[in-house]
Amino acid sequence: MSSTRVYVQSEHFSDIKLVEIDGHATIADLKRAALALLPPGTDASDLSLSIEDDDADDEDAPSPRRVKDLNPGQGVRVHLHRCKHVTVGVRFGGRTEEHRFRPATTIGRIRQWAGRQFGMKAGDIAEHVVQIVGSNEQPDMDTHVGALVQHPNCSIVFDLVPAHRING
């Protein structure tokens, strides 16, 4: 039996949790294993599971995918959330672009999407970060957007700002 490490994030716990599951397990098996990590008494009836940077609605997929198909080389990262999608707005240059992402979408992927929406070249995108509107918080590139919202507020707005440079 080959075991795959799965890192689970959720709106119901602050730290990333680890579960090991057989690579031949289905996505439904993975969801059950992730749900077992929730605090006792948590209502899990409306939680959906999303795979990091995967736009597919896994629970509605026509054929059962297997954990081994999720590119587990470095471990698989998933997110349990009551929001099936997070509406993300990004402001830059007097414009706002908006898109719906799954909760397991990384901030790095959102930054890439936003840069393309604003017509930036890859090098220019790399010199910018997203910052939560009304704060100085610039989430890490591997943060799941679902970690930044709490149901029923399934939306967030960022500013696309220049990254801090250290000259030395």
Question: Lowest-pLDDT range, 57-66, 111-120, 153-162?
Answer: 57-66
User: Which one has a higher pLDDT value, 75 or 63?
Assistant: 75
- Strand, helix or coil for residue 55: coil
pLDDT tens digits, one per residue of 8-19: 999 998 899 999
The rounded radius of gyration (Å) of the Cα atoms in the chain is 17
The answer to whether residue 129 sits within a structural domain is: yes
The span from the CA of 37 to the CA of 24, in Å, is 20
Please tell me whether residues 63 and 112 are part of one structural domain.
Answer: no
Q: Domain residues for 103?
A: 86-162
Assess whether pLDDT exceeds 70 at residue 23.
yes
Let me know whether 12 and 72 are in one domain. yes
- Residue 168: inside a domain: no
Do 118 and 93 form a contact (C-beta atoms < 8 A)? yes
Q: What is the model's pLDDT at position 156?
A: 98
Print burial letters for 15-39: b (CB count within 10 Å at least 16), e (below 16).
Answer: eeeebebbeebbbeebbebbbebbe
Among 50, 81, 112, give the residue marking a domain's end: 81
pTM for the predicted model, two decimal places: 0.90
Number of domains in the chain: 2
Flag the least confident range among 8-22, 58-72, 100-114, 123-137: 58-72
Arithmetic mean of pLDDT, 57-62:
51
Is residue 34 located within the same domain as residue 65? Answer: yes
* For residue 57, pLDDT beyond 60: no
Q: Give the CATH number of the domain where residue 12 resides.
A: 3.10.20.90
